[in-house]
Structure 1
């Protein structure tokens, strides 16, 4: 028996991701063999307290890919260390490397916005 996570309004399966994390390095433009262009970056996301009790791992690094031209231009202005909120869908990617197939999961980004840095109170 399988249990799909579904949207309660439509009872349809949902592939929806929402992450807040820190950009690990400057985003990179990649040209695919098809000629398509995408931008990729890695997002460092802190694990929840519950997850940290089960593992010594404190963060996860998640690959994010951006296909839409306007969003690619916006994401290319991000610098390492900037905190962002990302929404999108999970995608399983495949490629050939070293004579074998390789797969990984990435987030196909629908939106990406900077998270405002909280104001620091001054002692004046």
Structure 2
């Protein structure tokens, strides 16, 4: 939306990062079967701008699971509304920790 843009009319990087965090958080919560918290983001570089009206697709993949944490790689791609061509705009690895109801870390359950 226009309210999410910088003075040049491109989408703020922070808005895109928030969407990526939501995608990673969804993958983390499913894998951990419960609440998770973001603790780190690694390697984000913005390769191309995203314009108002572009379709943004996010792809999240769990790349590592530790005792209480998970690393999730997220790639963001854009497609102009009048084209079929897609471009990667950024990617990053998000680290999440599984947490209990009191906010303390808890073990990630084994994969079922």
Q: TM-score, normalising length from structure 1?
A: 0.27
Structure 1 or 2: more helix by fraction:
2
Structure 1 or 2: more strand by fraction:
1
Higher RCO, 1 or 2 (CA under 8 Å, sep at least 6)?
2
Q: TM-score, normalising length from structure 2?
A: 0.29
Structure of larger gyration radius: 1
